[in-house]
């Protein structure tokens, strides 16, 4: 990946929180837990997942930067969503966690050197894992979920 490609992904990463907030703007509060698509998450569950995922991703990049050959632990996102009451908790704390993890991590991304971008570890589910792969995953993550929120809103006629 070229430095220019990385920079574009970093900018996309930085825009992810705002994209999710924009997708939620005007979403009826009484519909946040609606599940119009069988087997898919509600908007509330997506927001709580984003907070969980962002806190995990923030630790993952830090482990890659600060540890030699770290093991990056995977987790069952559906189980976390179910067990951690993502269907009925208020969204605001999770939005704050999502935002904080993104903003804090963006500061690191802006300071990473070429050597930092070559750091490698091992992901318990995906295998070989490195900083550029981390950036590819998480630069798109929030945008993908913002799209899901928009589709939910459309399906609900909201």
pLDDT digits (tens, 9 = 90+) for 110-128: 999 999 999 999 999 989 9
pLDDT of residue 85: 86
Provide the phi-psi class of 112: left if phi over 0, else alpha when psi is between -120 and 50, else beta.
Answer: beta
> Counting beta carbons within 10 angstroms of the beta carbon of residue 74, is it exposed (0 to 12), middle (13 to 18) or buried (19 or more)?
exposed
Asked if the model's pLDDT at residue 62 lies above 80, the reply is yes
Alpha-carbon span 150 to 135, nearest angstrom: 24
Percent residues over pLDDT 70 in the chain: 100
pLDDT of residue 60: 96
Report the 10 Å Cβ neighbour count for 46: 25
pLDDT of residue 157: 85
What ranges do the domains of the chain cover? 3-128
Say if residues 46 and 87 touch (Cβ distance below 8 Å): no
Least confident of 17-26, 40-49, 74-83, 92-101: 74-83
Confidence band, pLDDT 50/70/90 cuts, at residue 61: very high
How far is C-alpha 42 from the chain's CA centre? 16
Buried b (16+ CB within 10 A) or exposed e, 106-142: beebeebeeeebebebebeeeeebebbbbbbbbbebb
Report yes or no on whether pTM surpasses 0.85. Answer: yes
pLDDT of residue 1: 84
Cα–Cα distances in angstroms (integers) from residue 12 to residues 30, 33, 42, 49, 130, in the given order: 30, 27, 24, 19, 19
Mean pLDDT of 62-78: 94
Mean pLDDT of 57-62: 96
Q: Which CATH superfamily is domain 3-128 in?
A: dinb family like domain (1.20.120.450)
Alpha-carbon span 106 to 141, nearest angstrom: 14
Place of tokens 């067990």: 83
């Amino acid at each position: 990946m070229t430095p220019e490609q990385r920079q574009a992904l970093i900018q996309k990463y930085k825009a992810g929180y705002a994209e999710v907030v924009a997708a939620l703007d005007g979403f009826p509060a009484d519909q946040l837990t609606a599940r119009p698509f069988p087997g898919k998450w509600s908007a509330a569950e997506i927001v709580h997942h984003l907070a969980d995922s962002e806190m995990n991703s923030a630790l993952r990049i830090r482990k890659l930067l600060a540890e030699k050959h770290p093991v990056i632990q995977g987790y069952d996102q559906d189980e976390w969503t179910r067990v951690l009451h993502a269907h009925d908790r208020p969204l605001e704390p999770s939005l704050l966690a999502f935002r904080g993890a993104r903003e804090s991590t963006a500061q690191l991304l802006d300071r990473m050197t070429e050597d930092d971008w070559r750091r490698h570890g091992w992901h318990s589910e995906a295998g070989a894992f490195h900083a550029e792969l981390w950036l590819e995953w998480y630069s798109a993550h929030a945008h993908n979920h913002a799209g899901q929120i928009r589709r939910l809103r459309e399906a609900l006629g909201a």
